[in-house]
Chain A
């Protein structure tokens, strides 16, 4: 286990190194630099700005400096919002995004897994058709369409839930954004769970458990579910990625001042340091998430052998 963790840690470090390097050079490959405007700024100001942000240094020096800053956890100043650093914006926005994301993960798993289980156990019955129909819709309806439908129906027509969610201070503000954000992943998990459950309940050991005379609840809960849920756990990494990037749209639609909203704004403003910083920040979170999921996966499933992956 120790060797496996070290192996994964090293590959994580390599991944992060490439992410930061590629992101850095991509952003510096943009012609014109960050201060190119429709109306050109005076020469002297550009020069002063370049000096202030060390943009007149040779590129390798900027690259090394950027690494130094990153290792200290400093993502640099924002080019467009004066007096703000990228860290400030992340510190302001990310807690809100994280709360929304966490609520969505919980919602996704709590609803998606039972949906899949029910539909597998009632295969070919109306429960199966209903849940799979909902899941098929959820996979194909884009989140922004779902969000607008929800806002229109529950916010404008029925007035049950607030139209804009603000900084998510009250539970009721979570309802619509969480549903809109989780629509896709929930349906995906329901389908995943269904097929894995269908596979498991045909196994011999389930028949054995039934033959022993265990109650149906115990068979499903203790024997089937435990094995069937493993594919869902592997999906948690991509799920987190989907929810984080999905929140770009959801935060905008529900006017939630989260990190997604800042990121989208920074793309619109061509705020290069902010784009670069957020990309790196998101990537780090997701790569670490994937790492944690991999470890959990190995801990849960004893069948996975802990060999270093030589066979590629």
Chain B
């Protein structure tokens, strides 16, 4: 049996007048998307606001504050916190508040500069190792393995001792004299921390490069005749940038911590400049009578470390494409 279906039953539906290919919502770039996710992460935002506030304070407050970090105010020695001296004064009558601000400035700069040096060495080393591959990669990674099994803090101390004189000399005699205002102590810390802690970065960059360089879009670029430099710049770096940024963010607090640790055992930044670690170390001697001298630098170290760690964790969640749903 056959059912007859009348052709008139069928009618063409009206053609849609709106453009169905149009994307209704604004499309987000990688960075906008990451920022959107980062903003939703409350702890990470708290960390970010804390760090921005801290950086602004460390930069600008010294311009307004009536005292300088080296000023010894007669008759104001060893005062407890008051309106005039919010964090009190030390035994030489120096205002602790301004010293902590300068300390934060120095500690933050150590964190930033050391991580940037790490970043440069690590990206170059890991990038070359991953991109060239083969025997070069094998040897370079063996070296990294060796460095990995070595207690790096010991080598930070060793470099500190070895490079002390050469750097001091370099800043007295050569064109580097212009940087002398920064203090050779501080430069020494930048260089030593930067030179030693790049191993993690190198490993991460190499891993990223290895996994990316065999993917189809790189092959497509190669087939179209793109140069190695263009592939690195346009394809590898943008795709590997997420984990790199996260590593840098987490390297900053560990550099700050290492410097504080070194200062605490007496080989960090020296007087009259003082990092947060130096301040804590100086205060330790008299802390049973003047605990607040230790309290303020210590709390600033903790706040900085916690904030950077929160930002790092937040960035990891925001930048990692695997977390996308």
A residues sitting closer than 8 Å to B (CB atoms) are 11, 14-15, 18-19, 23, 26-27, 29-32, 136, 139-145, 148, 152, 156, 237, 241, 244-245, 248-249, 252-253, 264, 267-268, 270, 275, 278-279, 282-283, 286-287, 290, 312
Contacts and interface: CB of A to CB of B under 8 A. Distances in A.
Contacts of A252: 264-265
B82 to A, nearest CB: 22
Interface in B270-294: 280, 284, 287-288, 291, 294
Contact of A145 (B137, B138, B146, B302): B302
A27 B264 CA distance: 23
A265 to B, nearest CB: 9
B261 A249 contact: yes
Nearest to A27: B162
A312 B137 contact: yes
B38 interface: no
Given A11-B145, A144-B261, A19 B150 contact: yes
A145 B298 contact: yes
A267 B162 contact: no
Contacts of A31: 165-166, 169
Interface stretch (B6-14, B152-160, B240-248): B152-160
30 contacts: A15-B150, A26-B162, A30-B161, A30-B162, A31-B166, A32-B165, A140-B302, A140-B309, A142-B302, A142-B305, A144-B280, A152-B288, A237-B149, A241-B151, A245-B153, A248-B261, A253-B284, A267-B157, A267-B161, A267-B265, A267-B266, A268-B266, A278-B154, A279-B158, A282-B151, A282-B154, A287-B150, A290-B149, A312-B137, A312-B141
Contacts of B284: 144, 148, 253
Contacts of B221: none
Nearest to A28: B162
Contacts of A270: 161
B150 A142 contact: no
Contact of B260 (A18, A23, A142): A142
Given A148-B298, A312-B138, A268 B162 contact: no
Contacts of B155: 279
A79 to B, nearest CB: 13
Contact of B154 (A144, A156, A245): A245
A287 to B, nearest CB: 5
Nearest to A264: B265
Nearest to B253: A140
Nearest to B141: A312
B196 interface: no
B55 interface: no
B73 to A, nearest CB: 26
A132 to B, nearest CB: 12
Contacts of A249: 261, 264-265
Contact of B305 (A18, A140, A237, A287): A140
Query: Which of B137, B149, B280, B305: most chain A Cβ within 10 A?
Result: B149
Contacts of B257: 142
A19 B257 CA distance: 25
B161 A275 contact: yes
B108 to A, nearest CB: 16
A152 B291 contact: yes
A145 B301 contact: yes
A15 B298 contact: no
Nearest to A17: B146
B154 A30 contact: no
B113 interface: no
